[in-house]
Chains A and B, each alone.
Chain A
Amino acid sequence: AQKVTQAQTEISVVEKEDVTLDCVYETRDTTYYLFWYKQPPSGELVFLIRRNSFDEQNEISGRYSWNFQKSTSSFNFTITASQVVDSAVYFCALSEADFNKFYFGSGTKLNVKP
C-alpha cells in the first residue's frame, strides 16, 4: 500500500493564482515526520519543510504555507500568488518511527504559466 499519496499528477495555473498541492499519508506510528521537497527543471531536490507528528500548527514561510491535519492524515502545501519560478515537481515524504527510510509520494508537477 502506498504510504504517501499525491493524487494530483499535474497542475497548471496562471501566475498569481493560489494553488494547493495535496498529500495524504498512511502510518500506524504515533511518532513520524512529514516533508516537502521541490525538484525544479534543473533536477536537484530541494528541502522545503519538515513537520513532526506532535506539531499540528500550520506553518507559513513567505508565499508558502502548509496545513497538517492528523484527523485526515493530510499535509497539504499551498503556494499563494504563484510565480513562474514555482514551476517544479513537488514531492511529499514520510519518515516513520524506524526512521531508517523515507517514503516518497509520486510527485505533483506544477506548471505556472505567465
Chain B
Amino acid sequence: NAGVTQTPKFRILKIGQSMTLQCAQDMNHNYMYWYRQDPGMGLKLIYYSVGAGITDKGEVPNGYNVSRSTTEDFPLRLELAAPSQTSVYFCASSYWDTDAWSNSPLHFGNGTRLTVT
C-alpha cells in the first residue's frame, strides 16, 4: 500500500519555465489537496478537490492550476515559474465518510522540493 506518491522529489526550474508536479493516491480517498511549505513556515493550501472533476482554490492559488480527472490523481501545474514559487510542495488526501459524518486525517506524500532560479 503506497499511500500518497509524489514525483519528482526535487526539481530546479528556470524563471518562466513550466512543470507539473504529480500526485497519486491508492487509498480511494475522495479528497485531495496541494499545500506549499516555505522555509521555516507552516502549510498553505493551494488547491483542493472533493472528488473527480471538482476542484477549488485554497489560500494561495495564483500561479498554479490543477485538474482531477480520476479519483487517484491530482497533478499540480506551475505555469511561468517565479522565484516566489520556490518551496516544498506536499500533496495530501483524506476520506470523508458521509454515512459516519467523519473525516479521516490527512495522509501526506513525501513532498517535492522545488527551486526556481
Show the binding face of A for B, using Cβ within 8 Å: 31, 33, 35, 37, 43-45, 47, 50, 52, 91, 93, 95, 99-102, 104-107
Using A45-B108, A105-B42 as known contacts, say yes or no to A100 and B101 having CB atoms under 8 A apart.
Answer: no
**Chain B residues in 8 Å Cβ range of A104:** 35, 42-43
CB-CB nearest in chain A for B107? A47
Instruction: Select A91's contact among B31, B43, B103, B110, beta carbons within 8 Å.
Output: B43
Q: Are A101 and B42 in contact (CB under 8 A)?
A: no
Verify B105–A50 contact, CB threshold 8 A.
Answer: yes
CA gap between A35 and B111 in the complex, in Å? 20
Interface status of B58 (Cβ within 8 A of chain A): yes
* Bound CA–CA A53/B103 (angstroms): 12
Docked complex Cα distance between A31 and B92 (Å) = 22
Chain B residues near A45 (CB-CB < 8 A): 90, 92, 106, 108
Least CB distance, B35 to chain A, in whole angstroms: 8
Partner of B58, one of A44, A95, A101: A101
Known: A31-B101, A35-B105. A44 touches B42 (CB 8 A): no
Per-residue CB contact flags for chain B residues 58-97 toward chain A (1 = under 8 Å, else 0) read 1000000000000000000000000000001010101010
Cβ of B45: which chain A residues have Cβ within 8 Å of it?
101-102
Is residue B34 within 8 Å, beta carbon to beta carbon, of the partner chain?
no
Decide yes or no whether B50 CB sits under 8 A from chain A.
Answer: yes
Q: B48 contacts which chain A residues (CB < 8 A)? A: 100-101
Contacts of A33 in B (CB 8 A): 103
Interface centre among B33, B41, B43 (most CB of A within 10 A): B43
Interface residues of B in 1-48 (CB under 8 A from A): 31, 33, 35, 41-43, 45, 48
Instruction: Find out whether the CB atom of A35 lies under 8 angstroms from the CB atom of B50.
Output: no
